[in-house]
Amino acid sequence: MSAASLLPPVRPIALAEIETACQRIAPTILRTPLVRLNLGPDAPDIRLKLENLQPTNAYKIRGAVNAVQQLGDEARARGVWTISAGNAGQGVAYAARAAGVPCSVVVIENAPATKLERMRALGARLIPVPFDVAWEALQVHAFDGVEGTLVHPFDDHHFIAGHGSMALEILEDAPDVRTVLAAAGGGGLLAGVGSALKALRPDVRLLGAEPETAAPFELSLRRGEPSEFAGWKASFVDGAGGRSVMPRMWERVRPLLDGSVVVSLDETRRAMRLLAEKARVIAEGAGCLSVAAALSGRAGEGPFVCVVSGGNIDLAKFAELIAAA
Residue 259 and residue 242 in one domain: yes
State whether 193 and 297 are in the same domain: yes
Domain boundary among 150, 183, 210: 150
What are the residues whose beta carbons fall under 8 Å from the beta carbon of 41, sequence distance 6 or more?
none
pLDDT tens digits along 238-265: 889 889 999 999 999 999 999 999 999 9
**216 and 88 within one domain:** no
Find the distance separating the first CA and the last CA of the chain, reported in whole Å. 49
Within-domain flag for 180:
yes
Core vs surface per residue 195-204: b (16+ CB within 10 A) or e: bbbbbebeeb
Cβ(133)–Cβ(38) under 8 Å? no
In this prediction, residue 4 carries a pLDDT of 60
Supply the range of the domain harboring residue 27. Answer: 15-58+157-324
Residue 5 has pLDDT above 70, yes or no: no
Is 3 a domain residue? no
Residues 6+ positions from 246 with CB-CB distance below 8 Å? 138, 139, 155, 186, 187, 226
Q: Are residues 269 and 137 in the same domain?
A: no
- pLDDT tens digits for 34-88? 999 999 988 999 999 999 999 999 999 999 999 999 999 999 999 999 999 889 9
Of 59, 61, 62, 57, the C-alpha closest to 23 is: 62
Distance CA 160, CA 18 (A): 9
Whole-angstrom distance, CA of residue 161 vs CA of residue 36:
26
**End position of a domain, from candidates 122, 150, 178:** 150
The number of CA neighbours under 13 Å toward the Cβ of 220 is 31
> pTM for this one?
0.95
How many domains is the chain partitioned into structurally? 2
pLDDT digits (tens, 9 = 90+) for 81-95: 999 988 999 999 999
Task: Give 179's strand partners.
Answer: 205, 304
